[in-house]
Amino acid sequence: MNRSIVSMLLATFVLRVSTAITGGLLVFLVADVTRGNGTGPSVQALLSGGFYTTELTGAIVFGVLADRYGRKVIMLLGPIFGGIAVFMTGLTTHIPVLFVTRLLEGGSTAASVPSTLGFIAAETADDERLRGRVVSLFELVSLGGMLAVGPALSGILWDRLGRPAFFLNCVFYAMALCLYAYGVHEVRTSRRVDVAASSDIHEKTVSPVSRYMRIVTNRKVLLFAPTWLAINATLGLWAIQAPLLLTGNKHDPGQFLMRGISATSIGIGEAVLAVVFGAGLLFWGLTYARFRRTTMMLMGVGAFVAMAFDVLAVNHLGGTSTTILLGLGGVGVVALFVMSGATPAALGLLADVSEGFEEDRSAIMGLYSVFLGLGQVVGAVLGGLAATWNGIDGLIVATAALLAVGVIALVNLRAHEGSILEAAFKEER
């Protein structure tokens, strides 16, 4: 891996850490502001929905702009938007203003992800093994920052500093900005292009909007979308609602996981889960070229199902015996390890699709954020309703519904996987 890839991965990690710190601090702020009035899940769903709505819509715009004006320029907007957002968040407890800051934070992700993924797709266009390693490392640093380091720091910072921690977080955004600015260089043009697909998309007479719509409605993209949406909605409803419920904001003595846990303990617990997930990502990155993309995704979805049953058991049996709790914890660790393979497989599959659209790589890879954002909006809304209805148990019911959709879509995707890979790595297949 060259210097630009390494700098991009480091910048991505730091930016994800700062984004997660902001989100984690905001959870504890919302828990404080809404404690006792029962509006916590609804407010959290509203703020998270604002974030992912901006990510969803912004990824479309920034993906096109990155292809037109350069990926590095758009990368720089990510930490700039995020720094402004976190500074504003530290100044207020008013929900409407906090909603605006979440829109800005969503814009930060919308700018950074399509440009970064377009960079990855172009840089690994001639090397499938390198692509596997880089997309897995991208997921590792992203999820490590979002689910491990960021949440752990957010809990510690909130318990130690309270609201001033938002201002301290500006330092992380500044670090990410410097890494993007001085370490990343524009990627050379790939030597291989699917001429037929490229010429079809790049007709000079086609407007940017029409051109983008033709990309989005491409058959290969439409086959990929439902499964990725279902996976992201499932991840979203847990990431958004579970930390709030674990604080005891909505107390339920009949559910073991809703009796109240400290911010520091929640952050450390998330960090432990992220370490397991990260180990899985490293494993799948090393074995990426040995498996069909959909095989990895099927195993991941199956592990999601196992994890849902495991959480249900913990929620109702966890307080009865330490031995039972440890056993269920072990099952969860194994399920999480297997589950981790779904995300790099999906990202690699989307990078394979981009081989037919070289001049629109960032727009194609921006669909990662579009589908992620749309999935997270669905997860935020569905998770808010489910958590308000029945807490952790409600989230499990919502998970079952989403995974049913994901499995059906994935079976269809697997049947057409060969056509999706048609343009990718032809000389190796």
- 157 found inside a domain: yes
- CATH classification at residue 113: 1.20.1250.20
Task: Please give the pLDDT value at position 362.
Answer: 76
- 187 found inside a domain: no
| Pairwise CA distance, residues 308 & 310, whole Å | 5
Number of domains in the chain: 1
- 266 found inside a domain: yes
- 189 found inside a domain: no
Residue span of the structural domain in which 303 resides = 3-182+206-422
Q: What letter represents residue 360's amino acid? A: D
Contact of 157 with 21, CB cutoff 8 Å = yes
| Pairwise CA distance, residues 344 & 228, whole Å | 11
Residue 318: phi, psi to the nearest 5?
Answer: -60, -30
Q: Work out whether the CA dihedral 155, 159, 163, 168 comes out positive or negative.
A: negative
Task: Note the pLDDT tens digit of each residue in 158-184.
Answer: 888 888 999 999 999 999 999 999 988
Q: Residue 59 CB: number of other CB atoms within 10 A?
A: 32
Long-range contacts of 205-214 (CB under 8 A, 24+ apart): 208/64, 211/360, 212/60, 212/64, 212/363
Q: Residue 193 CB: number of other CB atoms within 10 A?
A: 17
Residue 308 C-alpha from the chain's centroid: 19
Task: Please give the pLDDT value at position 48.
Answer: 79
| Pairwise CA distance, residues 190 & 155, whole Å | 44
Contact of 83 with 170, CB cutoff 8 Å = yes
| Pairwise CA distance, residues 124 & 184, whole Å | 15
| Side-chain-side CA neighbours of residue 348 (13 Å) | 33
Contact of 358 with 64, CB cutoff 8 Å = no
| CB burial of residue 189 (10 Å; 0-12, 13-18, 19+) | exposed
Contact of 324 with 318, CB cutoff 8 Å = yes
- 188 found inside a domain: no
Q: What letter represents residue 405's amino acid? A: V
Q: List the pLDDT tens digit at each of the 429 positions of the chain.
A: 788 899 999 999 999 999 999 988 988 888 888 876 767 778 887 887 788 778 878 888 888 888 888 889 999 999 999 999 999 998 888 888 999 999 999 999 989 988 998 888 888 777 767 877 888 888 888 877 887 788 878 888 988 888 899 999 999 999 999 999 998 887 654 444 443 444 444 444 456 666 667 777 777 777 777 888 888 888 888 877 787 788 776 667 778 877 777 777 777 777 787 788 888 888 887 777 788 888 888 888 888 889 889 988 888 887 677 888 889 888 988 998 998 888 788 877 777 777 766 677 777 777 777 777 778 778 878 888 888 888 888 899 998 888 888 888 888 878 776 665 554 444 343
Task: Please give the pLDDT value at position 206.
Answer: 55
Residue 112: both structure tokens together: 């950074």
| Pairwise CA distance, residues 1 & 105, whole Å | 30
- 200 found inside a domain: no
- 226 found inside a domain: yes
- 194 found inside a domain: no
Task: Please give the pLDDT value at position 199.
Answer: 41
Task: Please give the pLDDT value at position 207.
Answer: 61
Helix, strand or coil for residue 226? helix
